[in-house]
């Protein structure tokens, strides 16, 4: 039997969250008496706990290794989902990342895990793009990092303007990617 990991941010018990969700639904007039909605508050509590796991310490180690590799490592099309900080409605898309290592490299699966962990928070895409670059800079101190995020925002599709399928694309870079040649190489590689 595995012991439940302690929450770093004093996470509320799922039953407390469930009661709060039940109160919200009752306040807006949604009954929890039919088979479809009876367990909704608990399902929402569990879903939010999972979707906001990025506030916890990661359940993996960002293992790095010495490297002499001087080229660019590119991972493209990494899927992610985050929750809009303004409406708590999911937005999803992909991340393309280019890294030029200095003396340490990450295990390639850790690149994906770190991105998905960092995205599991309340966020805005613009700031999240910068935060991802900063995260990789802190962990491995590379020569440079470049990130491009493309996402569809649920809050835009289901409320307000009610238009979906319009991607938002953001980019941010650091270090050697400030030079035109590495940026151009990255763009060529992700378009392959």
Q: Could you tell me the residue ranges of all domains in the chain?
A: 14-51, 64-190
Whether the per-residue pLDDT at 145 is higher than 60: the answer is: yes
The span from the first CA to the last CA of the chain, in angstroms, equals 46
Q: Give which of 68, 79, 98, 77 is closest to 184, Cα–Cα.
A: 98
Q: Give which of 64, 61, 63, 147 is closest to 103, Cα–Cα.
A: 64
Segment 145-173 shows an average pLDDT of: 95
Label residue 4 by pLDDT band (50, 70, 90): very low
The sheet carrying 90-100 orders its strands as: 122-123, 72-84, 90-100, 144-153, 168-175
Architecture of domain 64-190: 2-Layer Sandwich (3.30)
Q: Is 95 exposed, middle or buried (0-12, 13-18, 19+ CB in 10 A)?
A: buried
Query: What per-residue confidence (pLDDT) applies to 12?
Result: 58
Q: Which two tokens stand for residue 59?
A: 């359940």
Q: pTM of the entire structure? A: 0.89
Top pLDDT among 33 and 5 is at 33
117, 106 Cβ separation under 8 angstroms: no
Chain-centroid distance, C-alpha 64: 21
Whether the per-residue pLDDT at 127 is higher than 50: the answer is: yes
Instruction: Outline where the chain has alpha helix (H).
Output: 14-27, 40-51, 108-119, 125-140, 154-158, 180-190
Q: Give which of 115, 111, 81, 109 is closest to 99, Cα–Cα.
A: 111
Q: What are phi and psi of 84, to 5 degrees?
A: -55, 125
Share of the chain above pLDDT 70, in %: 94
Q: Which two tokens stand for residue 33?
A: 């008496």
Chain-centroid distance, C-alpha 75: 15
Label residue 11 by pLDDT band (50, 70, 90): low
């Amino acid at each position: 039997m595995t012991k439940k990991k302690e929450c770093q941010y004093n996470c509320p018990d799922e039953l407390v969250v469930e009661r709060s969700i039940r109160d919200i639904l009752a306040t807006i007039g949604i009954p929890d008496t039919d088979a479809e909605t009876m367990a909704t508050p608990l399902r929402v509590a569990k879903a939010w706990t999972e979707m906001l796991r990025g506030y916890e310490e990661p359940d993996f180690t960002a293992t790095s290794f010495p490297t002499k590799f001087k080229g660019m490592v590119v991972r493209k099309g990494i899927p992610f989902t985050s929750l809009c900080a303004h409406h708590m409605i999911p937005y999803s898309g992909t991340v393309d990342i280019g890294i030029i290592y200095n003396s340490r490299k990450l295990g390639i699966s850790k690149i994906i895990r770190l991105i998905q962990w960092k995205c599991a928070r309340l966020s805005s895409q613009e700031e999240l793009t910068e935060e991802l670059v900063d995260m990789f800079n802190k962990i491995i101190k590379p020569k440079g990092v470049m990130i491009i995020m493309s996402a569809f925002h649920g809050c835009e599709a289901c409320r307000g303007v009610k238009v979906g399928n319009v991607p938002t694309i953001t980019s941010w870079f650091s270090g050697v990617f400030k030079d035109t040649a590495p940026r151009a190489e990255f763009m060529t590689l992700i378009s392959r």
